[in-house]
Structure 1
Amino acid sequence: MPKTAWKFLLPMMLLATTAFAQAKAELKLGTGVEKYEVVGTSDTFKVAPDTRIYAATRISGVENDKVTMVFLKDGKEASKVELKVPRTPYRTHGYKTMRAGDSGAWTVKVLGPDGTELGSSNFQVEVSGS
């Protein structure tokens, strides 16, 4: 193959490998966030009403865009928040304030700019007094 052909093929090969780089979100759940790290981690929470459950995420493969964090109770959307992602990798978090009646099975999902699921985590909540 002539050397000049590589001049055209190499950028196309790099573009193809970049297209296959998959965006993803790693999630940790807890009762607080300190220095970008979630604290009080668990997948089962027994909390008082008005307690926040934080979902801290490390997002990679998304840059200069936004992702959506969705909290679902028993499969139904309970809340969502849009989070800016200025660079990759990037750490950010969202939270859901648990109220009386919020006991049950929960899922938090991080959706990419195009709506594809980048990561999810299931957890149980028991709100005392509910």
Structure 2
Amino acid sequence: MTKTALKLLLPALLLTTTAFAAGKAEVKVGTSIEKYEVQGTSDSFKVAPDTKLYAGTKITGVENDKITVVFLKNGAEASKVELKVPRSPYRTHAFKTIRAGDSGNWTVKILGPDGAEIGSTDFKVEVGT
């Protein structure tokens, strides 16, 4: 290989390695968890106050480390929890109890060990009586 080819190839290899090392998260939001799977998935929920919504995630590319699950309401952080990831792939979940006044646009972000976003999903909540 020529030096020019190496100069072009090396940055691409570094980007690929960095992207894989950061991990990846598949994220779903629903009304319950059964056998590590999210049930009642949707992108819009009409719920009573004090209902729990679950963010289930399948993490790949992260081992013996931690991720952070962040729930955001209308762009502002509403809750955050740190979870251990012992192996890859690994399924885990977090929940948010929806209260009166929590209607709006929501996002769940999964942050890798370095704080970078590795997955997210958006959903709407309407709180009724």
**TM-score under structure 2 length normalisation:** 0.85
Q: How does 1:66-105 map to 2 (within 5 A)?
A: 66-105=66-105
Give the Å deviation of 1:36.
0.2
Question: What's 1:21 paired with?
Answer: 20
Question: What's 2:111 paired with?
Answer: 111
Give the Å deviation of 1:21.
2.0
C-alpha distance in structure 1 between counterparts of 2:103 and 2:18, whole Å: 41
Question: What's 2:63 paired with?
Answer: 63
What's the % identity of the aligned pairs?
A: 70
Give the greater-gyration-radius structure (CA): 1
Q: How does 1:30-45 map to 2 (within 5 A)?
A: 30-45=30-45
Equivalent position amino acid for 1:100 in 2: A
**TM-score under structure 1 length normalisation:** 0.84
Residues 107/19 of structure 1: CA separation in 2 closer, same or farther (3 Å cut): closer
Equivalent position amino acid for 2:54 in 1: Y
Unaligned runs of 5+ in 1: 1-15
C-alpha distance in structure 1 between counterparts of 2:34 and 2:125, whole Å: 22
C-alpha distance in structure 1 between counterparts of 2:19 and 2:43, whole Å: 32
Aligned residues: 115
C-alpha distance in structure 1 between counterparts of 2:125 and 2:19, whole Å: 37
C-alpha distance in structure 1 between counterparts of 2:126 and 2:39, whole Å: 18
C-alpha distance in structure 2 between counterparts of 1:20 and 1:73, whole Å: 28
Question: What's 1:54 paired with?
Answer: 54
Considering only aligned residues, what root-mean-square deviation do their CA atoms show, in Å?
Answer: 1.5
